[in-house]
Amino acid sequence: MKRILYIALAAVMLAGILLLPVSCGKNEGKLICGITDFEPMNFRDSSGKWTGFDTEFALLVGEKLGMKVEFQEIEWTQKYNELESGAINCIWNGFTANSSESDTGTPRTQLVDMSYSYMLNQQCVVVRVERAGEFRSIADVAGKKAAAEKGSAGESAARDIVGENGIVIDVPAQINTFLEVKSGAVDCAVVDILLAQNMAGSGDYSDLVITSIGLESEIYAIGFKKGDELRDKVNGAMKELYDSGKLMELAEKYELQNTLILDTSFGR
């Protein structure tokens, strides 16, 4: 009799285990953002802690959603692999949404689900100060050697403007392009203007300048795995922060108030 009772009890316990939710993964309740060192969006302060507009933006969203926010520095060319593997659950790093991948030509909106767009941006051309007079139009970049972050919107733009007779040197992060220009290894760099405005003309890069060459406008959004319901939750939090004025306060802190937007029609 006792044996029968033990077997019945074990069966009940097993049934209970089988009925437990299967979604209790290690990332449950976490907002893990894939980022690179990209000032003023994500960068390390003097103590080595991540800060920046996107960093603080993510923390505000996490607070709204009751999620713990973590930042995972990634190699930009591996962003989609990191997302698919579950190492991160969003790409949140000044991610140009209305662009295509330079190696395949595939629009990014086909590769990930995008959030509402929240910031205006564009690519720009950075050169040494003494060579600024040589770069006044896109035609002046044709046939030149340019540096750009591999897998970035900048790389795609650079390949377009240097043309078949030009060369694009791929580097692992946008900030590395400034060293390439400074050293004379390349003629110019093609990078996000929000980064260039913080780097060119000051500190170690006081001898670099943003040219007046105008490239196509861009928008930033957050990338999520296709079908991930987290995108809609983040969208809701983004709108609340924008409507309350908290997002504008954050933008003003990083002097980005003139480029802040919230386009709720994008990514739908």
> What tens digit of pLDDT does each residue of 18-38 get?
444 333 455 679 999 999 999
Among 106, 75, 97, 99, smallest CA distance to 88 is for 75
Domain ranges (residues) in the chain = 30-120+218-263, 122-217
Q: Give pLDDT tens digits for 142-166.
A: 999 999 999 999 999 999 999 999 9
Q: Are 195 and 216 in contact (CB under 8 A)?
A: no
Separation of alpha carbons 157 and 161, rounded Å: 6
Q: Please tell me the number of Cα atoms within 13 Å of 128 on its side-chain side.
A: 11
**CA 234 from centroid of its chain's CA atoms:** 15
Q: Is the dihedral of CA 94, 185, 207, 203 positive or negative?
A: positive
Q: Is the dihedral of CA 49, 53, 56, 59 positive or negative?
A: negative
Among 66, 49, 213, smallest CA distance to 127 is for 213
Separation of alpha carbons 38 and 194, rounded Å: 9
Q: Are 113 and 211 in contact (CB under 8 A)?
A: no
Q: What's the whole-model pTM score?
A: 0.81
Query: Which has more confidence, 26 or 103?
Result: 103
Same fold yes or no, 30-120+218-263 and 122-217: yes
For 30-120+218-263, which CATH class? alpha beta
Separation of alpha carbons 193 and 214, rounded Å: 11
Give me the CATH topology for the region 122-217.
D-Maltodextrin-Binding Protein; domain 2 (3.40.190)
Look over the chain and give the mean of its residue pLDDT values, rounded to a whole number.
90
